[in-house]
A = this chain, B = another copy of it.
């Protein structure tokens, strides 16, 4: 049994051929991916299968969904030590206005946000837009 298969089983996801491929794809990518990205990477695969794979991965906390403001859902693998199960994954995300790529900045945690009295905060989404390091040429 490969490393990936073990990982999937740890998350209680049956390691089918397609799931292994998608997991590998996500692991190799350093940026958040949309369903359409996976679709074009695996042209032969059914969109629905890919869609449902992502949903399963999300449910089982293998990936987290990212709303970067483009209107297209992106997904990225959760970190090894990530405890999505217990608390929210509170790192920020960066969306490059130039190359249109979105990355997890897992090292950059979201600061404590104060909300007015009466409001109860349960989750925070923080997206910074601008120019990524690849595009800024630095």
Contacts and interface: CB of A to CB of B under 8 A. Distances in A.
Interface of A: 67, 69, 71, 73, 92, 94, 97, 105, 107-108, 111, 113-133, 136, 138
| Copies of this protein in the complex | 2
Nearest to A92: B113
A131 B124 contact: no
A111 B111 contact: yes
27 contacts: A67-B67, A67-B71, A71-B71, A71-B73, A97-B122, A97-B123, A105-B115, A105-B116, A108-B114, A108-B115, A111-B111, A111-B113, A113-B126, A116-B133, A117-B138, A118-B132, A118-B138, A119-B128, A120-B131, A121-B128, A122-B130, A123-B128, A123-B129, A123-B130, A125-B125, A125-B127, A126-B126
